[in-house]
């Protein structure tokens, strides 16, 4: 909650970010008597631009759920969970953790975090765990879903940072979605695609007929686990046809010759056999990317949680690097996360390689 405005009637309106998916839409929520009276999309918020999906309208409903935890619970002598005050809970927590650490060492306790808290809370959690409690193991569930993208970005760029803004959805003339169904998973990102005035090519690589495949101008229903072969095959076509940005590669990359040698293992016929897409279709896909002036590549869990996920994410990144589709509006190899502050978790504290900032 980052804004608050009161009214004469005692009502107050707050701005609140939806936590259901990673898009980060913002709503204005009016509270009266401690209850939600109304809610509407925040028209001035740069993420959702006055729109919200149906999930966002229900984002606070769980506050009134009958089984919601509203107080710390501890087991009594009979083993029943009973509510206790915060002072008691914190005292017990601290005493028991210290006891465990004293008996078994600091490595005997750990924390597991989430992508649902604010960046400031990540910083506090990391500092408290490391410097306050001497904890040596901490992790975020964001790493568990995004580890492959994190490693791919680090190996490609030296740093974990998806290089896009939501404006890029509106400025591409070719958008390639790999294992990503944002129509359902990130509806307001899809809304940003629909605002694109260029009538872009929407290319979907996905074994399944998903909601986004119905809107695609090109859907390639590849065989499961064949995305890596397809991406290498496309890269090979780029090199063979001279459809690479030599200046960009020379000025900004290393290892082009080695990568080109590796691609020799992926001739067209091998890619046809692996993917089930015919040669004409694969050439059409390669040509579409080649002819695009601003091509963006988007992936989510279909890549991240897949067979050879790091390699597949790297192969997507390499297509952007080969064609110079990076560092300009409407371009980029862009991984989309699952939780609203997954990047806060990844960047600030709660991945195993970035403890406490
Ligand atoms: S797109 Fe995601 S963040 Fe936006 S309202 Fe829907 S569920 Fe919430």
98-123: average pLDDT: 90
- By most ligand atoms within 8 Å of CB, the mutation choice from 15, 17, 21, 48 for ligand 1 is 21
**Residue 1's pLDDT is what?**
42
23 CA to middle of ligand 1, Å?
A: 6
DSSP class of residue 204?
E
- By most ligand atoms within 8 Å of CB, the mutation choice from 15, 16, 17, 18 for ligand 1 is 18
121-146: average pLDDT: 84
**Residue 340's pLDDT is what?**
87
Nearest residue by C-alpha to atom 8 in ligand 1:
56
- By most ligand atoms within 8 Å of CB, the mutation choice from 29, 56, 185, 341 for ligand 1 is 56
Ligand 1 atom closest to Cα of residue 56: 5
Structure tokens at 356: 């406490």
Nearest residue by C-alpha to atom 2 in ligand 1:
21
Tell me the H-state helices in the chain. Answer: 54-57, 86-104, 119-127, 141-157, 167-171, 182-185, 187-194, 211-215, 227-241, 246-252, 256-263, 268-275, 279-291, 301-304, 309-323, 342-344
- What pTM did the predictor assign? 0.91
305-311: average pLDDT: 92
322 CA to middle of ligand 1, Å?
A: 33
> Mean pLDDT lowest for which of 24-28, 114-118, 190-194?
114-118
Short-list 292, 275, 279, CA closest to 332: 292
Look-up of token digits 């803004």 = 165
């Amino acid at each position: 909650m980052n804004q608050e405005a009161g009214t004469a009637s005692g009502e107050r309106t707050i701005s609140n970010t939806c936590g259901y998916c990673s898009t980060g839409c913002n709503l204005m929520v009016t509270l009266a008597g401690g209850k939600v009276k109304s809610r509407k999309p925040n028209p001035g918020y740069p993420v959702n631009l006055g729109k919200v999906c149906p999930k966002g309208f229900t984002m606070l409903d769980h506050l009134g759920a009958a089984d919601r935890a509203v107080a710390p619970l501890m087991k009594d002598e009979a083993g029943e969970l009973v509510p206790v005050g915060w002072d008691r809970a914190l005292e017990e927590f601290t005493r028991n953790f210290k006891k465990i650490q004293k008996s078994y060492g600091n490595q005997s306790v750990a924390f597991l975090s989430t992508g649902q808290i604010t960046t400031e809370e990540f910083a506090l959690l990391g500092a408290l765990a490391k410097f306050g409690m001497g904890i040596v193991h901490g992790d975020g569930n964001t790493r568990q879903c995004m580890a492959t993208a994190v490693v791919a970005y680090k190996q490609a760029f030296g740093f974990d940072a998806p290089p896009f803004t939501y404006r890029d959805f509106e400025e591409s003339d070719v958008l390639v979605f790999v294992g990503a169904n944002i129509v359902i998973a990130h509806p307001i990102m899809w809304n940003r695609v629909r605002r694109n005035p260029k009538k872009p090519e929407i290319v979907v690589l996905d074994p399944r007929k998903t909601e986004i495949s119905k809107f695609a101008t090109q859907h390639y229903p590849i065989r499961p686990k064949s995305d890596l072969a397809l991406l290498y095959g496309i890269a090979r076509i780029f090199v063979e046809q001279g459809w690479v940005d030599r200046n960009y590669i020379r000025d900004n990359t290393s290892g082009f010759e080695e990568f080109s040698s590796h691609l020799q293992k992926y001739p067209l016929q091998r890619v046809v056999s692996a993917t089930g897409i015919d040669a004409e279709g694969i050439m059409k896909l390669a040509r579409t990317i080649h002819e695009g002036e601003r091509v963006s590549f988007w992936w989510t869990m279909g890549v991240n949680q897949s067979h050879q996920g790091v390699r597949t994410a790297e192969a997507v990144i390499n297509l952007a690097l080969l064609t110079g589709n990076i560092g300009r509006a409407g371009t980029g190899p862009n991984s989309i996360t699952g939780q609203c502050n997954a990047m806060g978790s990844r960047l600030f504290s709660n991945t195993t390689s970035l403890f406490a900032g």
